[in-house]
Amino acid sequence: MMDDMIPMVEKAIETSSHWQDSGWPVAFGNRQVEVSSLKAAESLPKNAVYREEAINYWRQARLTGQDTAESGKKALEALKKGNLGDVHDALYLCQYLELPFEAVAKTWRPVYEAFMARCA
């Protein structure tokens, strides 16, 4: 029953590890210029008023993605061992850490909800 969770967790780990690269639409500055990745933010002109804001946003997305991926790896190990308590804790942390980006990242909450549905 929980074996089908393994590919979901693996995919979420891979996805969140690359949030800063794959990105999503985010607008910065008074003109609402779309900057959808860390690479795009770093390539903005040095005199762009919103450059630092965009870089900081995408660096935070990278750090959060790395943290959720690490917790996701713990969930994956626990899944393989059948330790559902540890799976719950790790997936809960993933979806909690994702909250600032959840509306656009949409990575961990569906995994957590799928896990909870299987536990019901």
- Write the pLDDT tens digit of every residue in 8-40: 999 999 999 999 999 999 999 999 999 999 999
**3-state SS, residue 34:** strand
- Using alpha carbons, select from 44, 51, 45, 46 the residue that is nearest to residue 29: 51
Count how many domains the chain has: 1
User: Cα–Cα distance between 45 and 48 in angstroms, integer?
Assistant: 5
Distance of CA 32 to the CA centre of its chain: 23
> Per the domain annotation, does 26 fall within a domain?
no
Q: Where are the beta strands (DSSP E) in the chain?
A: 27-28, 33-34
Please indicate, yes or no, if residue 70 is contained in any of the structural domains: yes
- Within a domain: residue 62? yes
Predicted structure pTM score: 0.92
* Residue 22 covered by a domain: no
Residue 1 has pLDDT above 70, yes or no: no
